[in-house]
Structure 1
Amino acid sequence: MQKPATVLRRLAVALAALLAVTAVSPAAHARTDPKAPEEFVALSDVDPTIIQEMRYPTQHNFVGRPIDGYRQPICILTRPAAQALHKVQGKLLRRGYSLKVYDCYRPQRAVNDFVKWAEDPKATQMKAEFYPRVDKSRLFADGYIAEKSGHSRGSTMDLTVVKLPARPTAPYRPGQRLVPCYAPQSERFPDNSIDMGTGFDCFDTLAHTLDPRVQGKQHANRLLLKNAMEAAGFVNLAEEWWHYTYQPEPFPNTYFDFPVSRASLAGRR
């Protein structure tokens, strides 16, 4: 039979070990977040003049809440993509315009969050603005939501063009009346972009870059962005006037999952 003192010592050691594990587990969990490779940069470090209105860390997006993985409202891209955007910006500035980015690198956990949301038929609070003519059950079949995104490879971004001097974008107020993303510019959410015919993230065929129903100034504005981007090596996704990928991609087959934050870029040699 073990002596009482021996039993007490062993219980004390076991309790101390348990407390130690509990105490370090949050920090240990934080350290498990992956870091961005050296090839990734903050866009503002390459070109601070490009306007950033990052939508997914906010409530003004098609889900209606901040998206998992977006810890700060910053644009992160591979360096070649950021440098190419800098070239586009220089040409647009000389014409009295500026680029504005809505989304850049997107971690896989954010894509997973989109998928989980899409599978919940009850979560439709932003339908009236972002997908008024699409049944939510069709989002996968129609290609609006997918389990993988080119954004996670780091060289894809969503963006628009703003006339200078840039007017401030009115703040989104949760619960405010929602207007369809394809409504006339004077009626839909007052984004300070030039009129592209629809708002950003509009799940509608009118958002197709060369949809023949979009004519006049709206068509010309889409071509202004398209021509400027393609001249710098970007390829447009035909179904989304705002979606561009730099080619050749540094990571064409890798889907990253580091969070969108300055901390993901820190501590690299």
Structure 2
Amino acid sequence: MSPASDAAGAGMVEIRSLVWDISLDIRYAGRDNFVGRPVKGYEAAGCYLHERVAQALARVERSLRPQGLMLRIYDCYRPVRAVQDFVVWAGDLDDQSSKPQYYPNLDKRDLLGDYISPTSGHSRGATADLSLLELREDRFEPMDMGTAFDFFDETAHTASPNVSARQRSNRELLRSAMRREGFENYPLEWWHYTYKPEPTPRTAFDFPVR
């Protein structure tokens, strides 16, 4: 665990310092997420990443703009306390309020492991959860990826055969754009990408997102 108390001390930057108009929808800073409330450690809706990772993500964004596309970011750096908050939530089997929306086909106990882990690459500042927007007429709209963000189900697996050809194509478009700049996808979540090699593969951080 790093003793860094803020982004600067951790060698991280906010992505909007590189792309001022990037689309952020940081779900864990609000109530629109699977725990139904702001997650511990999220004091604001910010996207922090190690500077090298942020630079790579900015290059992805710039490569997409001429195609009438842009990124929408759901999460970046995630404090260790937030990861622990997820684990506590997953262990509370009395709270099933988000099951219909986020894990309708899974027992909550099965979320620990593949979907919710006691450690996370997000806490190392090299992982981002994101999707694509496309320009339609005069505004950017979400592309159809087959499932919503944080939908815990086999249909959210990146190569799932249970989505349409268009949805698979949209996922591959995102994966190709991210791969060109060094990001690898987590196969169980089409939205989850980690920059490789990670700048600090053995160091996690716990400063709050402000």
**TM-score normalised per structure 2:** 0.94
Report the residue type matching 2:70 in the other structure: S
Residue 207 (structure 2) pairs with residue 258 (structure 1): yes
Report the residue type matching 2:34 in the other structure: F
Q: Which residue of 1 is the match for residue 43 of structure 2?
A: 71
- Deviation at residue 33 of structure 1 after TM alignment: 8.3
8 A contact 2:10–2:205 mirrored in 1: no
Which of 115, 119, 123 is the aligned partner of 1:144? 115
Pairs within 5 Å for 1:65-214: 65-141=37-113, 143-164=114-135, 165-167=138-140, 192-214=141-163
Q: Which residue of 2 is the match for residue 249 of structure 1?
A: 198
Query: SS of the residue aligned with 1:248?
Result: coil
- Deviation at residue 216 of structure 1 after TM alignment: 1.3
Alpha-carbon distance in 1 for matches of 2:4, 2:123: 15
8 A contact 1:162–1:194 mirrored in 2: yes
Larger proportion of strand: 2
- Deviation at residue 215 of structure 1 after TM alignment: 3.0
Report the residue type matching 2:94 in the other structure: K
Residue 3 (structure 2) pairs with residue 54 (structure 1): no
Measured at CA, do residues 59 and 38 of structure 1 come closer, stay the same or move farther in structure 2, by a change above 3 Å?
Answer: closer
Query: SS of the residue aligned with 1:94?
Result: helix
Q: Which residue of 1 is the match for residue 172 of structure 2?
A: 223
8 A contact 1:33–1:259 mirrored in 2: no
Measured at CA, do residues 255 and 240 of structure 1 come closer, stay the same or move farther in structure 2, by a change above 3 Å?
Answer: same
- Deviation at residue 38 of structure 1 after TM alignment: 5.0
Deviation sequence 1:96-124 (CA, Å, 0-9, x none): 01101000000000001001111111112
Deviation sequence 1:169-219 (CA, Å, 0-9, x none): xxxxxxxxxxxxxxxxxxxxxxx4200000000100110001122231101
Q: State the aligned residue count.
A: 205
Query: SS of the residue aligned with 2:28?
Result: coil
Identity across the alignment (%): 47
- Deviation at residue 151 of structure 1 after TM alignment: 0.2
8 A contact 1:98–1:162 mirrored in 2: yes
Query: SS of the residue aligned with 1:72?
Result: coil
Alpha-carbon distance in 2 for matches of 1:234, 1:139: 25
Bigger CA radius of gyration: 1
Unpaired runs of 5+ in structure 1? Answer: 1-31, 168-191, 262-269
Report the residue type matching 2:28 in the other structure: Y
Report the residue type matching 1:242 in the other structure: W
Query: SS of the residue aligned with 1:102?
Result: strand
Alpha-carbon distance in 1 for matches of 2:161, 2:25: 28
Query: SS of the residue aligned with 1:146?
Result: coil
Deviation sequence 1:140-165 (CA, Å, 0-9, x none): 15x11110000000010000000124
- Deviation at residue 125 of structure 1 after TM alignment: 1.2
- Deviation at residue 249 of structure 1 after TM alignment: 1.0
**TM-score normalised per structure 1:** 0.74
Alpha-carbon distance in 2 for matches of 1:160, 1:114: 22
Q: How large is the Cα RMSD of the aligned pairs?
A: 1.4
- Deviation at residue 49 of structure 1 after TM alignment: 2.6
